[in-house]
Structure 1
Amino acid sequence: MTRSLSDLTSDLLAAASKAGAEAADAIAVDGTSISIDVLNGKLEQAERSEGVEIGLRVLVGARQACVSASDINPATLTEMADRAVAMARLAPEDPTIGLADPDQLATSWDADALDLIDPSAEPAPAALEEAARQAEAAALAVKGISQVQSATAAYGQRRVHLAATNGFSGGYGRTDHGLSCVAITGAGTEMERDYFGEGRSHAEDMMSPEEVGRLAAERTIARAGARKPPTGAYPVLFDERISSSLIGHLLQASNGTSVARGASWLRDALGEMVLPKGLTILEDPHRPRVTGSRPFDGEGLPTAKREIVADGVLTGWTLDLATARKLNMTSTGNAARGTSAPPSPSVGNIALTQGADSQADLLAQMGTGLIITSMIGSSINPTTGDYSRGATGFWVENGEITYPVNECTVAGNLREMLRTITPANDARTHLSRVVPSLLVEGLTIAGA
């Protein structure tokens, strides 16, 4: 690439103004991704991609349009601008669209303090292949593992730059390292599988390939002989590996887009208890070395800590500029932006208050019920919060795990479920979503 991302966005804005746009913002992203798969100790697949993508949003009055491309030739930039303006003139009017006012914009930030970029050299494909091979070998070394379905090592680096005609211009980058392994036990209809994966921004924070493979194997062995659980109403413990999905439903229901459309089961819950007293959901976009961190949002607004839920009470919606205007509120600095679509509100790093008890303590409190470690499919009514999902995990009797289960469904209502949750103390704090295991009272289980 001969031009910087900053120059590309500047050129896009100039082209948009020349084409007749009254306002515009532009985004440029470049990156590299490498993925290596190993099977039976040999290289199965190797992929590498790199390139630049650019996106332009233009505004003509109360109308807007977005275009994107992966070609950065000057002629392409001109064509993008002309096409975007022509599209905007035909688009429906929306009085809530528009760029941020200059006094709303982020004016200073410290991207280096977020420490999102690994300063070490890009890993060689051979090193990634060896890591995947070690993970596979470690899984196969565990007694009872019949095969490894996949072992994958990956690396990515990405830089983004955003600029707009309101004067904003800024960029930052991040790196990602990943390693995962999927192991299988048994054969035929008795086959069961499970996985473990690790992802970090810095290679030095990654656990060893042997540990990844061993954990994948141990999870898989524990699933041998799975059967259906009994049908009935029982307490359910959402294991830490999937508990964030439950909180994710609350985050989606408090998203400004859902609320503005009236398609949220929380639409009338602002200022009300949505979690038990004592529990808080904190969003922190400035956590170092964490995937969801960013110095500013997709509209150039500053990002900051905020409590989405405070002491059990829903304090506000997640908003970008457009949804804030629709709801007569102020943006929370949560706009996310890709190259091909306008900004939309999105939550980054969140953490739920952890409890005082371990998962084992919660099992003792549960007595008899289900631990869910994996979920399949989804049937969620966004308006009522009615919840139904396929699940696998373990059956618990007298506070102890008795056997693995599969082919069951759990159902309830999210509003009622979330008001009864009891958190454990086992959340992994390096994740973007720090959510411990959650015990939920009285779900309906459909099994045998």
Structure 2
Amino acid sequence: MREIARRQDVESIAGWLLGEAKRYPDVGGADVFYVAGVGSSLSLRDGEIEEDSSGLSCGIGLRSLLSDGRQGVAFVNGLDRRMMESLAEWSVHNARTSVADPHVGLSDLPDQCDAPNLDVEDAAVYALKREDRLREAHRLHAMVAEKDPRIVSVRSAFWHDGWGESFYANTNGSHLWHRGTGVGCGVTLVMQDGEDMEMGGSGEELRFLEDLRSETVAALAVEHTARTLGGRPVPTGKYTLVLSREVTAALLDELGELFLASNVQKGRSLLKGKMGSVMAPPCLSIVDDGRLPRQLGTAPFDGEGMPTGRTLLLDRGRVAAFLYDLRSARIDGARSTGNGTRGISSVPDVGATNLFLLPGAASLESLLRDARQGLYVTELLGLHTVDTVSGEFSLGAKGVVIREGSLAEPFAGVTMAGNLLEFLERIVAVGEDLKFFGSTGACSLVVRDVSVAGS
């Protein structure tokens, strides 16, 4: 199925809704956000089908803005005309009960459809059938089950694919469409050796079917699980840490929250008042780019109809920029960076697109060799508990001990505690091995003199 609704029908409905909202004399403007998609998933548990589903969804939201900046949203799932007859009434009602905000407004750029080819739609994904998903899930299961005799269960071998599209229009003349595909697979397994047991896995999600390597996913799932099987605490002390790309990606997701202008303005970020300040060594730079070809966070426009783009957030260790939607940009007297995010039921806020580190020049092997003694960290536990205002954290960690520049025995059951700013200041090297995990791109990192509490 390629279309949930014809585009001309969606555009007609959007125009009608905008017109209905403008009939209210206190409405200064309005916008419509439509999303639709088709998705299919198939997963096996120890070789037997556990989930096999396909579905479609669509919905549309109308936001009304009053002249004093009050705004309200109403939405429906589906495009039944009868369901939408009261959307304008409810969105205006919700706006009238909200708080006035002089910074709220609409994009006044009528058309941003001149974006370059972002290469986010793969015809091969549309052609996938149930038998393809079943075959790939069984293939994943078989590749994992035969790799190591210590595997006692392949808890999940899954495959999913689909596509989604969005449409944005407002009373200033914006009229924008975007569509993209996605495909992914993953494995979760349990490995046992004597009394030691470990659960682990690996997964991948991409835009294009040809870029997906299920054999690599299977191999990494087994490798990552085997590496930490039987881990024991290391002695308490200070260590050089080499962070795996997966760990760095999870850390970067938390760091990205610090650069959202709305968080800074609300005092929810430790970067408040630190524009231009140095918070990390010159080897560390962070970028957000909504127009990277083939990436999951890529789109020509954001949830407010503003063009996406590239923003250098951390420039060789120095805070260089924040991410803005229209409202937060007006508060700071800045320009939107095209980072307005929203759903059909919400007002816009700020969010990252494709957030990633600029890679260094060293391979993982050379980083381990240069570290000589330390810990290769493959998992951090509790990152969601990091205090984004004070920077304080206490995290569990597991991975592999580094001895004489090589990976040795596994470790687990240790805790790292400290301050995020101090942690960033101790970064001494960034690897060349940039890889995207979803819409977050990460490299291996080396951090010196980190306190670890173990045995």
How far is the alpha carbon of 1:70 from its aligned partner?
A: 0.4
Instruction: Tell me whether 221-230 or 333-342 shows the greater mean CA deviation.
Output: 221-230
Residue type of the alignment partner of 1:122 = A
CA distance in 2, matches of 1:206, 1:307: 29
CA distance in 2, matches of 1:189, 1:59: 62
Give a deviation string over 1:227-272, Cα, whole Å, max 9, x none: 2222222222210112022233332111101111112111121112
Query: Aligned pair 1:114/2:118, yes or no?
Result: yes
Residue type of the alignment partner of 1:320 = D
Query: Aligned pair 1:195/2:201, yes or no?
Result: yes
- Decide which of 33, 57, 61 is 1:27's aligned counterpart: 33
- Cα contact 1:106–1:302 (8 A) shared by 2: no
CA distance in 1, matches of 2:245, 2:206: 18
Please report the TM-score for the alignment, with normalisation by the length of structure 2.
Answer: 0.92
- How is 1:31-430 mapped onto 2 (pairs within 5 angstroms)? 31-61=37-67, 62-100=69-107, 102=108, 104=109, 106-110=111-115, 113-120=117-124, 121-143=126-148, 144-186=150-192, 190-207=196-213, 209-378=214-383, 379-421=385-427, 422-428=429-435
- Cα contact 1:371–1:394 (8 A) shared by 2: yes
Give a deviation string over 1:194-244, Cα, whole Å, max 9, x none: 21112211111111x333223212222222222222222222221011202
CA distance in 1, matches of 2:379, 2:127: 33
Please report the TM-score for the alignment, with normalisation by the length of structure 1.
Answer: 0.93
- Cα contact 1:254–1:267 (8 A) shared by 2: no
Q: Does the residue aligned with 1:222 lie in a helix, a strand or coil?
A: helix
Query: Aligned pair 1:435/2:442, yes or no?
Result: yes
- Cα contact 1:135–1:214 (8 A) shared by 2: no
- Cα contact 2:227–2:400 (8 A) shared by 1: no
How far is the alpha carbon of 1:399 from its aligned partner?
A: 2.4
CA distance in 2, matches of 1:71, 1:349: 29
Residue type of the alignment partner of 2:432 = N
- Cα contact 2:46–2:156 (8 A) shared by 1: no
Unpaired runs of at least 5, structure 2: none
Q: Does the residue aligned with 2:158 lie in a helix, a strand or coil?
A: strand
CA distance in 1, matches of 2:433, 2:275: 29
CA distance in 1, matches of 2:106, 2:320: 26
- Decide which of 440, 444, 447 is 2:451's aligned counterpart: 444
Q: RMSD across aligned C-alpha pairs, in angstroms?
A: 2.0
CA distance in 1, matches of 2:101, 2:195: 55
Q: How many residues align?
A: 444
- Cα contact 1:137–1:213 (8 A) shared by 2: no
How far is the alpha carbon of 1:165 from its aligned partner?
A: 0.8
CA distance in 2, matches of 1:156, 1:3: 18
How far is the alpha carbon of 1:388 from its aligned partner?
A: 2.0
CA distance in 2, matches of 1:428, 1:445: 27
Residue type of the alignment partner of 1:296 = F
Instruction: Tell me whether 73-82 or 290-299 shows the greater mean CA deviation.
Output: 73-82
How far is the alpha carbon of 1:325 from its aligned partner?
A: 1.8
Stretches (4+) displaced over 4 A? none
Residue type of the alignment partner of 1:202 = F
Q: Does the residue aligned with 2:164 lie in a helix, a strand or coil?
A: strand
Give a deviation string over 1:373-395, Cα, whole Å, max 9, x none: 12222321111111222222112
CA distance in 2, matches of 1:399, 1:319: 43
- Cα contact 1:15–1:77 (8 A) shared by 2: no
Overall identity of the aligned pairs, in %: 29
- Cα contact 1:145–1:221 (8 A) shared by 2: no
Instruction: Tell me whether 386-395 or 250-259 shows the greater mean CA deviation.
Output: 386-395
Q: Does the residue aligned with 1:139 lie in a helix, a strand or coil?
A: helix
How far is the alpha carbon of 1:430 from its aligned partner?
A: 8.5
- Cα contact 2:20–2:88 (8 A) shared by 1: yes
Q: 1:390 to 1:256 in 2, by over 3 A?
A: same
Residue type of the alignment partner of 1:114 = L
CA distance in 1, matches of 2:195, 2:327: 52
Unpaired runs of at least 5, structure 1: none
- Cα contact 2:378–2:399 (8 A) shared by 1: yes
CA distance in 2, matches of 1:355, 1:248: 19
CA distance in 2, matches of 1:145, 1:94: 58
Residue type of the alignment partner of 1:321 = L
